[in-house]
Each structure stands twice: as C-alpha cells, then as structure tokens.
Amino acid sequence: MSDELRDLRHAKNIPAGDMVAVVQQLYPKYDKTMQSKCENGAAYGVDIRADALEALYLAFAPELLEQRRRRKNSGHRLTCRISARLADGEYGLLQQHIHADGYATMQDWITDIVRAYLAGKEAGPDVE
C-alpha cells in the first residue's frame, strides 16, 4: 500500500499537505511525518489504513477508484464461489474419476455439475 500511496501522490502531483488534510478528516492526528512514513512503509513497517487510502482516491483520483477496487477483489471474471470439504480419501478418488471423465480441472467439473443441476430445476418439478 505504501507504493500505491506514493504513486498516487506522484502521478497526480498532489502536495503531501493536501493529502494530509484529507486523511485528517478521518484521523485527526495524521500529519506530514506520518504521511512520509506511510509512503516509505517498507522501511518503517507502517501502512496507511485502507479507508484513508480510499478517501484519498475519492478526493484526488475518483476515476481510478473503481479500477483499484476491482484489482483488490482479485480481478476474477467469475466472482462467486462454492466450496466443500472432503476427507483425503474421498477427494483423491473424486479427482481420479473427474480426470478419467475428461475434465481438465475441478473448476470445469463443478461448473458442469452446477449447470446440469440448474437446467434440471428450470425444466420443471422433480418427478418421482
């Protein structure tokens, strides 16, 4: 985050004092010394808080805020996830069968299973 803070200041040519004023709205004791330490976080072991950095982006680079949020959220196109825990033996056996059925990845298999399940539900009520 320290690089991101420093990069923001340099890219937008923002005086450190202006950035300090924005952060002081959230954290009144934040000052130029703290700003410098946050920009050099690797040397001081200090990072600016995420909400303060977001306030800085909102104030000085709102056009970059959405891009930053997307990057922070891993950037995956498919954002929803399902998972389960299995015993080691069951998991190993499942992997063997999945690969034997021609699936390259667990992701491919799970996607296929979910789509088949949903298609069955869309077709109508279960007939027993």
- Could you report the per-residue pLDDT of 58-90, keeping only the tens digit for each? 999 888 877 776 665 566 778 788 999 999 999
**pLDDT for the residue 25:** 96
With a cut of 60, say whether residue 10 has pLDDT above it: yes
Distances (CA, A) of 126 to 17, 106, 113, 114: 66, 27, 17, 16
Average pLDDT over residues 24-44: 94
